[in-house]
Structure 1
């Protein structure tokens, strides 16, 4: 059984993701910040009801979106199977989620279904394709939002983490760059769960895992990104991903957060700096920045993620998991847990997952 501090960080990561998801339910996808402030005031500081004409209309403050629903399915599968089992997870999607969908956006748990999941539904239900044929070119973070639980489960086993996240990501997204960035996020989260901080040294730790053959990225430089010397052999290819650049982003964002000459004030404006849209290359830099800047302040991290508008739900899920892994569940303000619907059940799931880590 893992030690108490590691268990606390595991529970913090999982609950951080659920909290981030639910916090954005009301103010989700406001790309006009004036409209966001008009409907929710100058600062959103808790769970809110969605407006009748918005994406999650009919839901209530503290409930989860469909992203949270799928994350719940993933955690239950990991617990039941004592690890990632593609067949079990896919069966849960087929039998639990897909009967609630009809292929349209405004449908299903959370009252909204993302494009990548709608594509999989059409391929599975209408076209009768196998799960090996379902991946699309969506460049979004839906895979991260569920595979973060895989990263938690295999936080001490980076090679298994990378393999399982790759396999699961390909169910919905086939672009190799998206897959690489999804695996990189999982690797970052795993180090935070081990007790590392999202700082300027984290990427070097990730690169050491690459050189040790634990993460499937190709690398051509020597330590600290030094250029190859004359006569150096070409390093052996460590895996399927062409470049380790996705592993460098976290520490660059940490450096930006620590640099007194770089000012993003207030911090929610990180969404303007890196972009409000859904694409993974907008979302990850913002989440890494907030999780590095507020590494010991869960409330500030997730609320700045929410108040930045745009695809703030993905930003808050990713930021919530990264920051929760650093603070632990014990340092997440109680109100975020108490006001989250079915929080007792969700904490129990997080606890059961924590005890399964080897």
Structure 2
């Protein structure tokens, strides 16, 4: 597996792990006071992730790991298998259940098809967990786009969230082909999304590249919704296009739903710069680090 393809996946995982300590802390003054500049893993400050420890994932990263485990090299994406494993995972889960998860599980339990039970949530998180798909579809744009959209819809059926998944699938494919991240996103917007429901959000993110990250994300909104998270994620990629570590740290320091924003930015910037750009302590400090390495090795 090439270093850039692997880094797209690992980059998303370390972004989530780095976010855990201050995930859903919206008061950035609290982040400053409790942690200073967050450049390593911490136990979670909020009760949302009670029982988690430094190096663990949020419930977003946990679902991304389920997606990675569901993949089979050389085969199309099996949405039914992922949906079944996702449901089984939550049957004994001790972590946080967000509204999208609750609604999807309720639909599954009510007898709806596992692949047609997605919630109407507009949270960006459904698209943000797509990075593992790069490990097997980095050379097949159609499969990458289709699988990114399908895995998203299993839990998040809001059209803007699904469009976000397609946008980043097309963009990361271009980045893996050697196109710089900003150029890739600009081209994807122009050629496929200029008249879409997410066009203005993408443009906002791109246009903010020269602004301070904390202030910009505060203006966009620190929330989970696609309206806030999508331009925030694009800002991170565009503002810090040449610096994976700074992008990840600035994301966390901006507060709120740093996990979803970070997973996308980590995927895109990992794809751009390869494994050498990801700090070694972030890789070795992940609780599931060896498990992820083994899964990626098995997909080669």
**So what's the TM-score if we normalise by structure 1?**
0.76
Aligned counterpart, 2:97: 113
- Alpha-carbon distance change, 54 to 12 in structure 1, aligned in 2, over 3 angstroms: same
Structure of higher CA gyration radius: 1
**Contact 2:233–2:262 at 8 Å: present in 1 too?**
yes
Q: Please, which runs of 5 or more residues in structure 2 have no aligned partner?
A: none
Does residue 44 of the first structure (1) align with residue 28 of the second (2)? no
Summarize the alignment of residues 62-141 of structure 1 with structure 2, pairs less than 5 Å apart.
62-79=55-72, 82-95=75-88, 97-101=89-93, 108=94, 111-125=95-109, 127-141=110-124
Does residue 338 of the first structure (1) align with residue 293 of the second (2)? no
**Contact 2:26–2:255 at 8 Å: present in 1 too?**
yes
- Alpha-carbon distance change, 248 to 78 in structure 1, aligned in 2, over 3 angstroms: farther
Deviates more, 1:57-66 or 1:192-201: 192-201
Aligned counterpart, 2:260: 314
Summarize the alignment of residues 128-277 of structure 1 with structure 2, pairs less than 5 Å apart.
128-200=111-183, 202-204=185-187, 207-208=190-191, 210=192, 243-244=195-196, 246=198, 253-257=205-209, 262-264=210-212, 267-277=213-223
Aligned counterpart, 2:27: 32
1:189-237 CA-to-partner distances (Å, cap 9, x unmatched) read 22222221112464325655x5xxxxxx6x7xxxxxxxxxxxxxxxxxx
**Contact 2:22–2:44 at 8 Å: present in 1 too?**
yes
Q: Which whole-Å CA distance do the structure 2 matches of 1:295 and 1:142 have between them?
A: 21
**Contact 2:141–2:170 at 8 Å: present in 1 too?**
yes
- Alpha-carbon distance change, 351 to 263 in structure 1, aligned in 2, over 3 angstroms: same
Summarize the alignment of residues 51-66 of structure 1 with structure 2, pairs less than 5 Å apart.
51=45, 54-66=47-59
Q: Tell me the matched-pair count.
A: 300
Q: Which is richer in helix?
A: 2
1:271-329 CA-to-partner distances (Å, cap 9, x unmatched) read 21321111012112121121122222111010000010011111221211111111111
Residue 81 of structure 1, CA deviation: 6.6
**Contact 2:83–2:115 at 8 Å: present in 1 too?**
no
Residue 48 of structure 1, CA deviation: 0.4
**Contact 1:277–1:311 at 8 Å: present in 2 too?**
yes
1:8-28 CA-to-partner distances (Å, cap 9, x unmatched) read 111111111110111111111
Q: Which whole-Å CA distance do the structure 1 matches of 2:257 and 2:52 have between them?
A: 18
**Contact 2:16–2:61 at 8 Å: present in 1 too?**
yes
Q: Which whole-Å CA distance do the structure 1 matches of 2:211 and 2:153 have between them?
A: 37
- Alpha-carbon distance change, 88 to 293 in structure 1, aligned in 2, over 3 angstroms: same
**Contact 1:201–1:251 at 8 Å: present in 2 too?**
no
Q: Please, which runs of 5 or more residues in structure 1 have no aligned partner?
A: 102-107, 211-216, 220-242
Q: Which whole-Å CA distance do the structure 1 matches of 2:38 and 2:75 have between them?
A: 38
**Contact 1:207–1:244 at 8 Å: present in 2 too?**
no
